[in-house]
């Protein structure tokens, strides 16, 4: 049997370069806190435990780790010091311990797995994920002699020869659970930064006669996030992965680079997505849906065969049943559209229930807010609402009713009734000519007064 893994996530660093009141690891990527990506990738390894190392008072960070426990690193004295803070939470664990960084969310489960597997196969006390850096300046260098990883030298402590090494430390490490306490315990801070470097465990393990290995991975996965610019780069990389996964699952994207997804977006197969579409958190799309250009969808379920957009906005709490059509410049908020219902042009439907097959005319507004409270509009099945109508909530329109164009509906409409909520038209024959003459004279008089 394979021994169970433990994962330690280091997230107690200051993150000063973000210049933010929000802790770095809580900055969102694909609408999910950075550290939740790290946790999701670790969870896929089915570890026996996950432990977060956080800064004192970082309550929000602890909450983001839930249900996993966190320990506090009392002072940011380095990555080795941080890892040591987790030792208490690792008591009794004899399997491999994977140490990852909370600010490096792009490391995939597959790459983590490769490291753990290699360590088990090679019976290594320490395994490090390394990469050949295009610019190794900011990284620790992996010193490999005759195929054996001997030590890691931090950039600031490296001599000229070591600085020329491009094989760099990703920060991800796998330590033998039976040795971790003694390895971490031997780390000192005799270096340029006066910090306890986790990277020192390699040299310490070697000196004690243990094996250390380096496993190479792709540089693209090891991009850590220290600044807003790096956050944007990571967002781009994650978006690319999410799009690729959606397309692999059978989604067509006419211009994938302009489709923005959330980490939790669920899109079934045979959905077509046009250019410039954004999915906020909490969206599920069933199969055979067409989402045309420039739609913004958040917190909503879209049923099979629906046609959305172009230029539609669907806001949280909305449920769009099968075969619904939502057209251009239509906004839904907490609104349910029944099967086959249509709102094709220029409408705001807030807090509304629209029945099956009902047709909502152009310019219709479900008037949901009176300045104090929000109220629901309930439209039953097979209703026709004429263009430019206001349905002033709370109000109900019964099954099969017809609301005539331009109506302001303030009273419930019973089933199969026709409702006129507008002034009766008055037509005066032959009066256009005299009206024109009158208006012309008035305009001329106004011009004369201005000249004087």
Catalytic machinery residues: 345
DSSP-assigned beta bridge partners for residue 390:
365, 408
Choose between 197 and 260: whose C-beta lies nearer to ligand UD1.
Answer: 197
Residue-wise burial string across 273-289, b where 16 or more C-beta atoms lie within 10 A, e elsewhere? bbebbbbbebbbbbebb
Candidates 4, 28, 76, 224: give the one binding Ca ion (CB under 5 A): 224
Asked if 224 interacts with ligand UD1 (CB under 6 A), we say yes
Going by their DSSP bridges, the two strands 390-392 and 336-337 should be labelled as unpaired
Q: Does 171 bind ligand UD1 (CB under 6 A)?
A: yes
Q: Note whether 13 binds ligand UD1 by CB under 6 A.
A: yes
Q: How would you classify the pairing of strands 252-253 and 290-291? A: unpaired
Q: Applying CB under 6 A, does 197 fall inside the site for ligand UD1? A: yes
SS3 15: coil
Measured distance CA(98)–CA(9) in Å, rounded = 8
Residue 179 binds which entry of Ca ion, ligand UD1, none, CB below 5-8 Å type-dependent: none
Sole binder of ligand UD1 in the list 11, 42, 366, 397 (CB under 6 A): 11
Smallest separation (angstroms) from ligand UD1 to the CB of 83: 8
Yes or no: say if 83 and 9 are a contact pair by the CB < 8 Å rule.
no
Q: Which does 275 bind (CB under 5 to 8 A by kind): ligand UD1, Ca ion, none?
A: none
Q: Which residues contact 329 (CB under 8 A, 6 or more apart)?
A: 311, 312, 345, 346, 347
Residue with Cβ nearer Ca ion (226 or 344): 226
Options 165-173, 178-186, 406-414, 419-427: segment touching ligand UD1 (CB under 6 A): 165-173
Compute the distance between CA of residue 263 and CA of residue 32 in angstroms, rounded to an integer. 7
Please give the structure tokens belonging to residue 46: 């089915």
Minimum separation from the CB atom of position 213 to ligand UD1 (A): 16
SS3 of 275-334: CCEEECCCCEECCCCEECCCCEECCEEECCCCEECCCEEECCCEEECCCCEEEEEEEEEC
Interface with ligand UD1, residue 102, by CB under 6 A: yes
Q: Which stretch binds Ca ion (CB under 5 A): 125-133, 218-226, 230-238, 369-377?
A: 218-226
Residue 398 interaction partner, one of Ca ion, ligand UD1, none, beta carbon < 5-8 Å per kind:
none
User: Which one of ligand UD1, Ca ion, none interacts with residue 201, CB within 5 to 8 A by kind?
Assistant: none
Q: Select from 45, 48, 72, 77 the one that contacts ligand UD1 (CB under 6 A).
A: 77
**106's tokens:** 């792009």
3-state secondary structure of 43: helix
- Do 330 and 312 contact (CB within 8 A), yes or no? yes
- The 8-class DSSP code of residue 4 comes to P
316 binds, among Ca ion, ligand UD1, none (CB under 5 to 8 A by kind): none
Contact footprint for Ca ion (CB under 5 A): 224
Interface contacts to ligand UD1, rule CB under 6 A: 10-13, 53, 73, 76-79, 81-82, 101-103, 139-140, 152, 154, 168-171, 197-199, 224
């Amino acid at each position: 049997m394979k021994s169970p893994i433990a994962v330690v996530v280091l997230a107690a660093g200051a993150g000063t370069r973000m210049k933010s009141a929000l802790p770095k690891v809580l900055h969102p990527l694909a609408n999910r806190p950075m550290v939740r990506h790290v946790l999701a990738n670790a969870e896929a390894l089915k570890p026996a435990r996950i432990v977060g190392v956080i800064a004192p008072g970082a309550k929000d960070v602890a909450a983001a780790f839930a249900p996993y426990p966190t320990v506090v690193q009392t002072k940011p004295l380095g990555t080795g010091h941080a890892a040591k803070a987790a030792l208490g939470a690792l008591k009794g664990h004899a399997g491999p311990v994977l140490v990852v960084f909370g600010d490096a969310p792009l490391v995939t489960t597959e790459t983590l797995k490769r490291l753990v597997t290699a360590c088990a196969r090679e019976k290594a006390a320490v395994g490090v994920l390394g990469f050949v850096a295009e610019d190794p300046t900011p990284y620790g260098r992996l010193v490999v002699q005759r195929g054996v990883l001997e030590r890691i030298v931090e950039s600031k402590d490296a001599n000229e020869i070591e600085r020329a090494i491009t094989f760099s430390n990703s920060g991800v490490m796998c330590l033998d659970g039976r040795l971790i306490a003694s390895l971490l315990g031997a780390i000192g801070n005799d270096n340029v930064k006066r910090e306890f470097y986790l990277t020192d465990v390699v040299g310490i393990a070697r000196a004690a006669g243990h094996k250390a290995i380096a496993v190479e991975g792709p540089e693209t996965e090891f991009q850590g996030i220290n600044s807003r610019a790096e956050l944007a780069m990571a967002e781009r990389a994650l978006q690319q992965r999410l799009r690729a996964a959606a397309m692999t699952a059978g989604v067509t994207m006419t211009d994938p680079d302009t489709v923005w997804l959330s980490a939790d977006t669920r899109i079934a197969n045979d959905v077509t997505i046009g250019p410039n579409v954004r999915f906020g958190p909490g969206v599920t799309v069933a199969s055979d849906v067409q989402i045309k250009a420039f739609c913004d969808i958040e917190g909503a379920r879209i049923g099979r065969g629906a046609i959305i957009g172009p230029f539609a906005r669907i806001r949280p709490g909305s449920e769009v049943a099968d075969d619904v059509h939502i057209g251009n410049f239509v906004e839904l908020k907490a609104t349910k559209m029944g099967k086959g219902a249509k709102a094709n042009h220029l409408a705001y439907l807030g807090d509304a229930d629209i029945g099956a097959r009902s047709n909502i005319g152009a310019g219709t507004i479900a008037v949901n807010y009176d300045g104090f409270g929000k109220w629901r509009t309930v439209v039953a099945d097979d209703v026709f609402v004429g263009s430019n109508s206001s349905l002033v909530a709370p109000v109900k329109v019964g099954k099969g009713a017809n609301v005539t164009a331009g109506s302001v509906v303030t009273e419930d409409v019973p089933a199969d009734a026709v409702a006129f909520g507008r002034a009766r038209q008055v037509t005066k024959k032959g009066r256009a000519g005299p009206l024109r003459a009158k208006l012309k004279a008035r305009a001329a008089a106004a011009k004369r007064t201005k000249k004087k």
